[in-house]
Amino acid sequence: MAAQTILFDFTLDSAKTGDEKQRQEVAKILRNELEHVFPQLELAYSMESPENGYFSVLHENKATIITCRIFQHGLLTVNVEYFLPAGKEPIMSFDTMRTMELILRQKLDSDRSKYLPPIKRGGYIDIYMTSSDERIIEYDIDKLVYEVRSPFQKIQILHSKTLGNMLLLDELQNIAESDLIYTETLMGRGIENYEGKEICILGGGDGALLYELLKENPKHVVMLEIDELVMEACNKYLNSICGDVLEKRRSDQYEIVVGDCVEYLKKFIGEGRKFDYVFGDLTDIPITGAPVGVDWDFIRTIFEHSFKVLKPDGKFLTHGNGTSCTESLELFEEQLALLKPKVKFTTSKAFVPSFMEEWLFYQVSFA
């Protein structure tokens, strides 16, 4: 169940919308055509002003609300909104929407028109998320599999028809059953050699990185994850990407430690413990105009401690953000340039299915 909002817009010659009389003529054509689709249409409210142009609210049986606006600059918008109970058919099929758009474009002599399929608002399952640069993405989610709020974050497992089960943390996409490419690009499969190596994973609560690394025959992997409930959820609902590593928690090859990774890095520094690889599978690079705030402070703290536990020929591997977020990626690279001792980095890219965009990954080593 959700409110359905269908959006239409038409671009007209501004000469046809420049004054009140002309806008009223356009509104007459508009209402006549709307009545073919909504035969019981009634006018509920109408307003005309020099600054705001023409605006009206119409309804059909007071269940379907239609708002129309004619801007003096040559833009006409029509919004159709109604509530659709579960199991009921939409009031407008795609064919009806397309036909209505084409007829109105012809009648209004519009040189450009567009309609958007129903935007579903207020439903229990949220099917809309954003790309890294905050564009709206609609997912084919059909079921909420699991939801809980831990002391650290909101945890959800949603099922997508094409992506499989998908982990969301604080309503942001993290990983799905479709996303092996994410893990393989992060670890540089086929490029890096993990055989016999000591590895530390910061975060990684979904278990996918640990699971794939163990296939490379490392000497030992320690994973530091703060949220027990994330691991419990992924062990139960995402074991296609993590196997049984989150259930066993420990073997001769690996150990999962539940706790604050910063505190454990400090402990490793005090012990003089060193790693061939450290993975930062934590916070995404923030989308901000300047490298300030809690998230950037956390990233700098991770840098400071991670490079102190790296061997001289070791590498720090991490995900960045979407490749479209150029300003934030540049800020991240500026922070790398400030590190002492100096570091150098390479990058790799991959299109991540559940993110529906290309992401950048970093491989950082001492210069």
Catalytic residue among 179, 206, 276, 281: 281
- Given a cut of 80, whether residue 286 has pLDDT beyond it is yes
pLDDT tens per residue across span 216-232: 999 999 999 999 999 99
- Given a cut of 80, whether residue 108 has pLDDT beyond it is yes
pLDDT of residue 260: 96
Structural domains of the chain in order of their starting residue, each with its CATH number: 2-121 (3.30.160.110), 128-176 (2.30.140.10), 180-366 (3.40.50.150)
> Which pLDDT band, with edges at 50, 70 and 90, does 144 fall under?
very high
pLDDT tens per residue across span 288-309: 889 999 999 999 999 999 999 9
Q: Is residue 260 flagged as an active site residue?
A: no
pLDDT of residue 288: 87
pLDDT tens per residue across span 46-60: 999 877 789 999 998
pLDDT of residue 126: 87
Structure-block tokens of residue 245 = 């590593």
pLDDT tens per residue across span 19-72: 888 999 999 999 999 998 999 999 998 999 877 789 999 998 888 999 999 998
Q: Is the CA virtual torsion 80, 86, 88, 93 positive or negative?
A: positive
pLDDT tens per residue across span 209-266: 999 999 999 999 999 999 999 999 999 999 999 999 999 999 999 999 999 999 999 9
CB atoms within 10 A of CB 354: 24
Q: What does pTM read for this prediction?
A: 0.89
Ranking 55-64, 182-191, 314-323 by mean pLDDT, the lowest is: 55-64
Alpha helices in the chain (DSSP H): 20-37, 94-107, 180-187, 208-214, 228-237, 239-242, 245-248, 261-271, 294-306, 326-337
Q: What is the mean pLDDT of the chain?
A: 94
What's the distance, CA 219 to chain centroid? 35
End-to-end Cα distance, the chain: 57
